[in-house]
Structure 1
Amino acid sequence: MQQIVDRLNELSVGKVSLNEPLKKHTTIKIGGPADLFIQPQSIQGLKDAIDVLKENDIPVQVIGRGSNLLIPDEGIRGAVIQFSKGLDHLEVMDDQIRVGGGYPLVRLSAVISRDELSGFEFAGGIPGSIGGAVYMNAGAHGSDISNILVKAHILFEDGTTEWLTNEEMKFDYRKSVLQDERKGYCIEAIFQLEKGDKQEILAELKKHKEYRRETQPWDHPCAGSIFRNPLPNHAGQLVEELGLKGHQIGGAKISDLHGNFIVNEDDATYDDVMALIELIKDRVKDKYDIEMVTEVEIL
């Protein structure tokens, strides 16, 4: 593996390390080491890294800011590539923006408000990045990525890249074509926004952030919403009706504040969280005959 590290460094792909603890890169603070951890400094660096990994038959897993991830305590064999600094470029083009997959949603919504651009207010409190948001069609407050995306620059698992239009992304509730039919990752995206009133945009952002602060347990390590809402029902409400809020297994606890959040209360393990997930699935199925589907990515 050291030879591969040396080759990646020769190509100046970005930051490369061995046995990197992934709990340092997830918001729930769970996850064992990655054999090889790469933070590309550019799109070209990303492509070069993928080429080297393919040549050496090393499996690749891509992550963003780790806000929607659950990673085993055993870690990830092979390489983990994180979209972060180096893939966080932003170009404002009148009422459109071109933004890198590693750009944080919270920062983006704040930055473009200065240019009086409206359309990203819904994402003001979502602690993820553009790549993950496009991948799962992230949304809140009645809007989502599919409403504003023009096209996305995709890195497919075979190492090829292609721009996909909004229609080609086949968006659905918390889904896109990248999750199954054409597995891949969003390197960058172009969004169509609208000119708006700066003070109204800022007021909307503030309202959404305050709502999340009051209703979601971001003062504890967590991975965001655990389940997709089985519409017309809401996952958190079903958990609350079952009396499961506050239930704890090991160091993992169903939040007292919101039933669709599991927090790392006391050095929780992957197995602790999975036990709570299975408990919720079983109880909801027994009482409501509803199959719960996880929103969090379980690697």
Structure 2
Amino acid sequence: MNELISTLNDLNVGKVKGNEPLANHTTIKIGGPADCLIEPSSLENLQKTMEIIRTKNIKWRAIGRGSNLLVSDKGIEGIVIKLGAGLANLEVNGTEVTVDGGYSLVALATSISKKGLSGLEFASGIPGSVGGAVYMNAGAHGSDISKILTKALILFEDGNLEWLSNEEMGFSYRTSVLQKQRPGIVVRAVFQLSEGDGETIREQMKKNKNYRKETQPWDSPCAGSIFRNPLPNYAGQLIEEAGLKGYSIGGAKISDMHGNFIVNDGGATAEDVLALIQYVKDTIFESKQIRMETEVEIIGRK
């Protein structure tokens, strides 16, 4: 791995760190080390990185701002690619918005609102990147990415850059084709928004943000919603009805504010969180015969 890191540094692809703790790069502040973490300085350098990954047959994983992720205490084998400032360009052409995968979703929603464009109000409190949001079809308040995305530019492992249409992205609830069938990195997205009243848009965003502050523990390290809603039921409500709010294992605790959030209450490990997830699954199944499925993505060494 040292030789690989040296090669990447020689190519000047961006920031390269060996044995980097992923607790520093996830919103729940949990995660063992990545063998190598790269933050490419440009799309061209991301392509160079992927070329090395392919030729050397190295395992890889892309992340954005680290929300919706639980990384193993043993870390991640191979290369972790973090999209950041090197892939964070924004272009607005009328009601069409083209934005890179490393751009903050919250910053995008805020910027767009100032231009009187409607369609991203739901994203005002989602703490992730555009790439991650497209990857998992992020949503809230009755809307999601699939409602506004026209197409996305994907870098695949074979080095090909390909535009996928909304239909080709295979969106469903918190899911896209990229998660299983066609692993790739969202490097750019095109959204079709609509003209609206700036003040009305900002007021709706403020309401959405305040709702999150009042009902969800965003002042504590967490990964976002842990479980998918087993519709017509809601995960948080099922957990609260089971009397599990505040229940903890090790440093992992079910939020007192919202049953579908697990917070790092201090020194939590991924094993603590996984044990708590399993406890919730067992409890809900025993009491309601409902199988709970995780929304948070669990990755890394077993």
Q: CA separation in 1, counterparts of 2:186 and 2:293?
A: 23
Report the equivalent of 2:33: 33
Report the equivalent of 1:92: 92
What is the identity, as a one-letter code, of the residue corresponding to 1:97?
V
Q: CA separation in 1, counterparts of 2:157 and 2:228?
A: 25
Contact 2:157 2:184 in 1 (8 A): yes
Q: CA separation in 2, counterparts of 1:242 and 1:157?
A: 44
What is the identity, as a one-letter code, of the residue corresponding to 1:101?
G
Report the equivalent of 2:233: 233
Q: CA separation in 1, counterparts of 2:137 and 2:157?
A: 19
Residue pairs, 1:97-176, within 5 angstroms: 97-176=97-176
Q: CA separation in 1, counterparts of 2:256 and 2:248?
A: 10
Residue pairs, 1:3-82, within 5 angstroms: 3-82=3-82
Q: List structure 1 runs of 4+ shifted beyond 6 angstroms.
A: none
Give the secondary structure class of the aligned counterpart of 1:86: helix
Q: CA separation in 2, counterparts of 1:124 and 1:65?
A: 15
Q: TM-score, normalised by structure 2?
A: 0.97
Choose 140-149 or 289-298, whichever is displaced more. Answer: 289-298
After superposition, the C-alpha distances for 1:185-204 in whole angstroms (9 at most, x for unaligned) are 21110000011111111101
Percent sequence identity is 61
Q: CA separation in 2, counterparts of 1:58 and 1:185?
A: 16
After superposition, the C-alpha distances for 1:50-99 in whole angstroms (9 at most, x for unaligned) are 11122222110111100110001111111100011111111111100110
**Offset of residue 178 of structure 1:** 1.0
Q: CA separation in 2, counterparts of 1:145 and 1:23?
A: 27
Where do 5+ consecutive residues of structure 2 fail to align?
none
Residue pairs, 1:265-280, within 5 angstroms: 265-280=265-280
What is the identity, as a one-letter code, of the residue corresponding to 2:261?
F
Report the equivalent of 1:181: 181
Give the secondary structure class of the aligned counterpart of 2:87: coil
Q: TM-score, normalised by structure 1?
A: 0.98
After superposition, the C-alpha distances for 1:4-24 in whole angstroms (9 at most, x for unaligned) are 222222322111111111000
Q: CA separation in 2, counterparts of 1:81 and 1:72?
A: 17
Where do 5+ consecutive residues of structure 1 fail to align?
none
CA RMSD of aligned residues (A): 1.0
Report the equivalent of 1:288: 288
Report the equivalent of 1:198: 198
> Number of residues paired by the alignment?
299
